[in-house]
Structure 1
Amino acid sequence: MKRTLLSLLICFAGFTLVSFAQTVRIQQPDRAPQTMYAVDVLKKALVKQGYTVQEKSAEYLINLTLNKAKAVPELYSIARQGRTLTVAGGDAKGVIYGSLSLVEDLRNGVSLQHIKPRSEQPNLPFRAIKFNLPWDTYRHSYALDLHKETSRDLRFWEAFLDMMAENRFNALTLWNLHPFSFMIRPTNFPEACPFNDRELADWQAFYRGLFRMAKERGIDTYIVNWNIFVSPEFAKAHQVALDNLDHKIHATGDTSEIIRRYTRESVTQVLNEYPDLTGIGFTHGEGMWGMTPQQRQDWFTETILEGMRLANRKAKLIHRVPLSANLALGGSTSVDTEQLTRKAMEKLDFLDGPIWTEIKFNWSHAFSSPRLIKVHGGKLNDTYFKPEPKNYKIAWMARNEDFFCLRWGVPNFIREHIATNTQSYVGGYFVGSECYIPAVDYFTKPGQQVDWTYAFQRQWLFYKLWGRLLYNPATPDAVFTAEFARRYGKGVENLLEASALAGTTPLRLASSFDFTWDFTLYSEGFMALNKNSMDYISVDRQISQPAADPNYVSVLNYVSTLSSGGSFDPAKVTPVKLANQLEQDCKKALALVKDVNTDKNTSLRYEVADIKAWANLGLYFAEKLRGAVALQTYRLKGAETRKEEAVKHLQQALAYWDEVIAITRPLYTDMPLVHYSESNDALRFHWEKLRPDVAKDVEIARKATVMTARKD
């Protein structure tokens, strides 16, 4: 009895000491919105880990401060002196990032007494998310419209902005065709706004709330539009732009003087009425059919740029480079157009900070090669870089039109991308999609008990990798592995490596399959544009399609070269070498997740299933390439054994495709993807729907015949 009582007293005493040792006071330099946000996230993390935050003296002191001696934007450091932790920021954003770094340790179970000193500063000053708004959308589709309610909810944006801050993204760019009529009632053109006073007040409260929350988190905000568009109400009232009331993107530009004036005044009024809005962006492209590059540049100079100059404050600018060097909008480049655009940008001296000059990296498919192959329109010359610009910085647009459903994360691809493309004239990156809005989760089957609410939360690794590595490319894999462990506990140490291995599948497809605009390739579905529709990439299409990356060799080139006695540089990625790489990496990925127990965690089940899906798609692709080589060789040189080999490989490819179906069918609904359903909202995507097309590859091989030699 005495021993039991003594044990209880010891336990109680220990509890008292631990309890006292866990009191924390946070000292802050000011009450700026960014500081208050940093304090709030720290408090929440401390309380969740069992600490007591109090205003008076405590066992630990966390001192938030501004480093006036080293006022580097977004820099932070964490230092320790006894039980005082000093989080110093080069500016207010630095204070936020230092606090979030401390929060990350706390979430990972690191106690305050074990926090290690550190410091970081940004590698790139511009780290942006591209987010297409679902009202007045670039394309018209149910897959975009279904996000309207969620994207008007500030609770969604609070979660999204928290994610951005946590991952060190510092710019949110909001894109739609004509944003002004949702934000203001133009003073001299009130008829342009389609809303009554109450409706407009709701819209304005939404935008003001969004911009305010972003500013609190150290995130700049931009509205970006395509040109030239006006509201249908304005068009009807003034009998202008009547040929494009439904806002088709490929439309003739109406440059009527009244539209010029309306656009200019709207820009000025928006900047004046929304002081928390950081800047504006514009596009040399849609809605400007039939205009020369000079006419397009003149339009911007006289409307958007002049409107910015007339505002009562300075604002920042996103200046997209021209998408076309001729009268059409399909895409083209020329030195003359680049010189024209550069000259126009260099004249601008009334803006806040450098102009962010957006260029699409590898057109719409940045998830291909880390090497710059093409931009929108074709080859990019060095006009924008030489001599080095003084008032603008290049910002690469890393467009993702290749995977929307399956989770993706390949850290070394992003590291290589950044290392290869961040010359001194580069200021940063945009990351995002044109054909996908990460708001409503329309993938997950209903009734699943998962730990996410919104679509972007499913792709947490995608955002964490891009944001953290853009901020600091030296961020180790251990940071991302620790996040897996925090979310799912023990036994998930291999998930990052498995994700990185399996996630090479879409990158390798896009490097080996030439592309241009959005719908020309959808890697996740192994689909590509075929005349006017998105179709499965047949084995014949795989054979004939040129490679996008010059380091890759197409099947057609490979077989014809070898058949004529030629050879390839060992550094080239031939179809056979690619197939072997895919098989090696994807089988290793499957082995790494083989023993992960997902029985008690549905969210983890999805993580592992997506790795397995990518891996099996990679194995399918490997067998398809082998089958394609054998099939094309048979067509050129004959021998029934080659045909049999082709059939065998394509049958195995079908077996791997069936495995993808078996993995994904219990988890995913048929999906209303824009790629698949823009012309018909009733269409839905799932790998199972493509199975008949995959099976046709086998029949194509079985029915193949030897090509008849040409007679000169």
Structure 2
Amino acid sequence: MNIFLNLIDLGGHNSKTNKLRKNIYKTTVLLCLLQCLLFFSCKKKESIVNVVTLSKAHQVTFALQDVELALGSLYRLLDPEFADKAEIVLSIKELDTLKPEGFKIDTTNNRIQVIGYDEAGLMYGTLELAEQIKLYGLDNVKSVVQNPYLEMRGPKFNIPLDVRTPSYSDVSDAAQHNLPHMWDLNFWKNYIDTMARYRYNYISLWSLHPFPSLVKVPGYEDVALDDVQRSTTNWNEHYNLMAIGFDAPEIIENVEVLKNINIEEKIEFWKSVMAYGKSRNIDFHIITWNIFDYGTQGKYGITDKIDNEITKDYFRKSIKQLFVTYPDLKGIGVTTGENMHGAKAEEKENWAYETYAKGILDAAKEMPDRHFTFIHRQHQTGAKKIAEKFKEVVDAPNVEFLYCFKYAKAHVYSATEQPYHENDNFIEDIQGMKTIWGLRNDDTFYFRWGAPDFTREFIKNLPYDVAKGIYFGSDQWIWGRDFLTKNPETPKQIEVEKHWYQWLLWGRLSFDPYISNERFEDILRSRFPDADAHKLFSAWQNASMVFPITTGFHWGSLDFQWYIEGCKSRPEFAQNLTGFHDVNRFINLGVHPKSGNQSIPDYVKMVSEGNTTTLKTPLEVAENLQKISESALKDLEDIHDINNKELKFTLNDIKTVSFLGKYYAHKIEGATYLAWFRDSKNKEHQELAVKALERALGFWNRYVNQAMLQNHNPLWTNRVGIVDWKQITEWVKQDIEIAKN
């Protein structure tokens, strides 16, 4: 609106003229004020958005907070009696189109209705509504019907409860830094809220022997542990891969008390955590490895011997007591084999039945109205034998029996198809029963990952008919609070928020694998308004593919056999004293069987014989790594002048991983030419190998320098030991000498 004040110069300065001038000025000002009043009174005001919820469930109240944030000051919650006057109505209704946890958003009849099959469905529908409002505005909310693609979606969380009751991951920096956070209710609330928004609906806590830290078992009361303790020992680099010896005297006898708390207070703490999870549609499961007696200190004659009847009785009563103590605990899971001293498969399953199976059957009989879940990992025993032995559990009316299978070994970032269930005839053996597919990520600990196309394709390729769901997580890492970042947030971010995009992708796409890339790009645009979202999406996806392309070619299937961010494994698998995967190991280690890649020895044999292949040759893999890394770096050139701290960290990670991709590209190229030279004795191939490995060194240096801008290193891991990028640099240099000599 433009208002022009034309003041007339009548000439002269006598009193009459001045009086006239003042009258004209006053009249003009009054007219201006009147015009302003008319303008603002006629201007359309933004309407208050009235919201009504017909459910008082905690899950729905939680999701409504996001709607309120999205609408800001326009949000107003009305009582249910005013539903006919509301623009947004939330309700629960069993529609033919909906399944448990499913929802419908209907935008017809000039109002938005969110209908959930149940409280969980209404929560997810309300979260979807909040996201649409945030991304596109209230007027652009779209109708949608969604049902969960996978029924169970959860993290694998190796939990360090106490030095006396360790997890598999305790001998590591990740566990030692995170042990205090496991007893912090604020951590768990933040973690649970985040996982609920990403559509996860259960949390599996993995431990070697958690009972002394969680329950007081009738007849074994003195086993229960007061306080939370952490060891102050000077840790060794490597410990037994079967988790034996975590109670060595130097570990147990040198401790600090992190929290003064008795067992009754511990129980109340975990009751609160599980109840909070329930309020976000998240169940808790406890899964163990066996047989471990950590924390019992030999009391009552308990040992880790498979034929100890006292131990069997103690375990059986511990399982039952878990469910008696924790009303919101959903299930228990068992792994046989790690510490069973060479027992036969039948002996292992007999022990598991006498302890875990009978324990949950005791609980199920005592609480017939409660529904339980029993998870048996198909780990070192055949599925058919398990089903036969545990028939009573399978047939129990209030117990759901599930298998669990390590679907991608330790590296979900390897290939979108996996062969291991086929190799074991697993699907045929379980005869229509359901399984949880274990998706292990022992790859991305430092750097933020985000490739929707890979995640979507992976999930769609899961054997769906027998799939109950997935767990996604690590054995080398504790997804607690970030401790690697220089100049971190205060308080330090929880890991699932630092790595938010990775966790969002696996959660959301497990719920709905048909979410488009456009939606993810819009989420990036909303989170990082300073960046070109399209360029960021593309750069992040390309850089993230460095992980599966490299690991799909250089295949060490287990966590101690390959860690890509450090180019390391345990020394024995690297076939040297350092654990570094040198150029020789890149020549002789095979490829992932479903990657479509050709190994270096097979390539050399092929070219020497003048044959061809439909597989991706090593040089084509190297070229692909070069291409995606260069593309990511090119996209980053158009994202600059960044004030957002998280975005700066993210861009640094993308650049760092792009340099890592170029390192592996040149390393694969150099290894290929070196193997070719050894076969052909052609000096030109040797020269090409040396040049490629010199370029690899250059990009390794850039990788380390970029990574060190914002990360602490060295890092002590439980599976491959100490990862020291500067030390590894010296080993990278040696690759050049190997090629020269």
TM range (shorter): 0.7 to 0.9
Q: Is structure 2 residue 69 aligned with structure 1 residue 17?
A: no
Tell me, yes or no, if the aligned pair for 1:253 and 1:291 is still in contact at 8 Å: no
Aligned runs of 1:545-564 on 2, under 5 Å?
545-549=589-593, 551-563=596-608
Distance, in Å, in 2 between the alignment partners of 1:546 and 1:453 is 38
Tell me, yes or no, if the aligned pair for 1:449 and 1:603 is still in contact at 8 Å: no
- Tell me whether 110-119 or 338-347 shows the greater mean CA deviation: 338-347
Q: Which residue of 1 aligns with 2:281?
A: 218
Q: Which amino acid aligns with 1:324?
A: Q
Once the two structures are superposed, what CA deviation does each residue of 1:99-157 show, in whole Å capped at 9, x if it has no partner? Answer: 1001112332x333332211111111111111111122214324112101112112111
Aligned runs of 1:121-140 on 2, under 5 Å?
121-135=147-161, 136-140=166-170
Q: CA deviation at 1:82?
A: 4.2
Q: Which amino acid aligns with 1:201?
A: E
Which of 293, 300, 307 aligns to 1:255? It is: 307
Q: Which amino acid aligns with 1:412?
A: D
Which of 626, 632, 646 aligns to 2:675? It is: 632
- State the number of aligned residues: 663
Tell me, yes or no, if the aligned pair for 1:626 and 1:646 is still in contact at 8 Å: yes
Q: Is structure 2 residue 739 aligned with structure 1 residue 687?
A: no
Q: Which residue of 1 aligns with 2:112?
A: 85
Distance, in Å, in 2 between the alignment partners of 1:7 and 1:173 is 66
Which of 599, 603, 606 aligns to 2:646? It is: 603
Distance, in Å, in 1 between the alignment partners of 2:429 and 2:216 is 43
Q: Which residue of 2 aligns with 1:147?
A: 178
Once the two structures are superposed, what CA deviation does each residue of 1:234-257 show, in whole Å capped at 9, x if it has no partner? Answer: x4222332xxxxxxxxxx643311
Q: Which residue of 2 aligns with 1:488?
A: 528
**Structure 1 pair 321–223 and aligned structure 2 pair: CA distance change class (3 A):** closer
Tell me, yes or no, if the aligned pair for 2:58 and 2:279 is still in contact at 8 Å: yes
Q: Is structure 2 residue 568 aligned with structure 1 residue 542?
A: no
Q: CA deviation at 1:424?
A: 0.9
Q: Which residue of 2 aligns with 1:238?
A: 300
Q: Is structure 2 residue 317 aligned with structure 1 residue 265?
A: yes
Q: CA deviation at 1:618?
A: 1.3
Distance, in Å, in 1 between the alignment partners of 2:292 and 2:430 is 35
Q: Is structure 2 residue 415 aligned with structure 1 residue 369?
A: yes
Tell me, yes or no, if the aligned pair for 1:634 and 1:640 is still in contact at 8 Å: yes
**Structure 1 pair 204–6 and aligned structure 2 pair: CA distance change class (3 A):** farther
Q: CA deviation at 1:382?
A: 2.2
- List alignment gaps of at least 5 residues for structure 1: 242-251, 326-336, 704-712
Q: Is structure 2 residue 556 aligned with structure 1 residue 515?
A: yes
Aligned-partner SS, 2:534: coil
Aligned-partner SS, 1:536: coil
Q: Is structure 2 residue 103 aligned with structure 1 residue 76?
A: yes
Q: Which residue of 2 aligns with 1:463?
A: 503
Q: CA deviation at 1:44?
A: 4.4
Aligned-partner SS, 2:284: strand
Q: CA deviation at 1:450?
A: 8.3
Distance, in Å, in 1 between the alignment partners of 2:490 and 2:31 is 47
**Structure 1 pair 568–163 and aligned structure 2 pair: CA distance change class (3 A):** farther
Q: CA deviation at 1:568?
A: 3.6
Distance, in Å, in 2 between the alignment partners of 1:554 and 1:410 is 25
Aligned-partner SS, 2:113: strand
Distance, in Å, in 1 between the alignment partners of 2:633 and 2:652 is 10
Tell me, yes or no, if the aligned pair for 1:354 and 1:393 is still in contact at 8 Å: no
- List alignment gaps of at least 5 residues for structure 2: 1-28, 228-259
Tell me, yes or no, if the aligned pair for 2:542 and 2:629 is still in contact at 8 Å: yes
Once the two structures are superposed, what CA deviation does each residue of 1:353-410 show, in whole Å capped at 9, x if it has no partner? Answer: 64331100132122211222336xxx73325435742xx3121111011120111111
Aligned-partner SS, 1:549: coil
Distance, in Å, in 2 between the alignment partners of 1:166 and 1:644 is 54
Q: Is structure 2 residue 696 aligned with structure 1 residue 653?
A: yes
Distance, in Å, in 1 between the alignment partners of 2:336 and 2:322 is 21
Q: Which residue of 2 aligns with 1:708?
A: none
Q: Which residue of 2 aligns with 1:171?
A: 202
Q: Which residue of 2 aligns with 1:330?
A: none
Q: CA deviation at 1:671?
A: 4.5
**Structure 1 pair 677–586 and aligned structure 2 pair: CA distance change class (3 A):** closer
Q: Which residue of 2 aligns with 1:357?
A: 403
Aligned-partner SS, 1:228: coil
Q: Is structure 2 residue 378 aligned with structure 1 residue 340?
A: no
Q: CA deviation at 1:686?
A: 4.7
Tell me, yes or no, if the aligned pair for 2:103 and 2:116 is still in contact at 8 Å: yes
Q: CA deviation at 1:460?
A: 0.6
Q: Work out the percentage of aligned pairs sharing the same amino acid.
A: 25
Q: CA deviation at 1:661?
A: 2.1
Q: CA deviation at 1:193?
A: 0.6
Aligned-partner SS, 1:368: coil
Distance, in Å, in 1 between the alignment partners of 2:581 and 2:703 is 16
Q: CA deviation at 1:258?
A: 1.3
Tell me, yes or no, if the aligned pair for 1:28 and 1:35 is still in contact at 8 Å: no
Q: Which residue of 1 aligns with 2:379?
A: 323
Q: CA deviation at 1:615?
A: 1.5
Tell me, yes or no, if the aligned pair for 1:170 and 1:219 is still in contact at 8 Å: yes
Q: Which residue of 1 aligns with 2:129?
A: 102
Aligned-partner SS, 2:379: coil
Aligned-partner SS, 1:531: helix
Distance, in Å, in 2 between the alignment partners of 1:381 and 1:677 is 27
Q: CA deviation at 1:289?
A: 2.3
Tell me, yes or no, if the aligned pair for 2:149 and 2:510 is still in contact at 8 Å: yes
Q: CA deviation at 1:5?
A: 2.8
Which of 562, 565, 569 aligns to 1:524? It is: 565
- Tell me whether 523-532 or 493-502 shows the greater mean CA deviation: 523-532
Q: Which amino acid aligns with 2:209?
A: H
Q: Which amino acid aligns with 1:33?
A: H
Q: Which residue of 1 aligns with 2:221?
A: 190
Distance, in Å, in 2 between the alignment partners of 1:543 and 1:374 is 24
Tell me, yes or no, if the aligned pair for 2:172 and 2:718 is still in contact at 8 Å: no
Distance, in Å, in 1 between the alignment partners of 2:360 and 2:552 is 41
Q: CA deviation at 1:318?
A: 4.4
Q: Which amino acid aligns with 1:239?
A: G
**Structure 1 pair 675–229 and aligned structure 2 pair: CA distance change class (3 A):** closer
Once the two structures are superposed, what CA deviation does each residue of 1:268-319 show, in whole Å capped at 9, x if it has no partner? Answer: 1211221111111111122222221111111122111111111133443343
Once the two structures are superposed, what CA deviation does each residue of 1:393-439 show, in whole Å capped at 9, x if it has no partner? Answer: 12111101112011111112122212222331122211001110121
Q: Which amino acid aligns with 1:115?
A: V
Q: Is structure 2 residue 358 aligned with structure 1 residue 306?
A: yes
**Structure 1 pair 52–339 and aligned structure 2 pair: CA distance change class (3 A):** closer
Q: RMSD between aligned alpha carbons? A: 2.5
Distance, in Å, in 2 between the alignment partners of 1:273 and 1:240 is 22
Q: CA deviation at 1:216?
A: 0.8
Q: Which amino acid aligns with 2:652?
A: A
Q: Which residue of 1 aligns with 2:212?
A: 181
Q: Which residue of 2 aligns with 1:706?
A: none
**Structure 1 pair 612–182 and aligned structure 2 pair: CA distance change class (3 A):** same
Which of 696, 701, 712 aligns to 2:734? It is: 696
- Tell me whether 191-200 or 161-170 shows the greater mean CA deviation: 191-200
Once the two structures are superposed, what CA deviation does each residue of 1:171-195 show, in whole Å capped at 9, x if it has no partner? Answer: 1111111122222211221111122
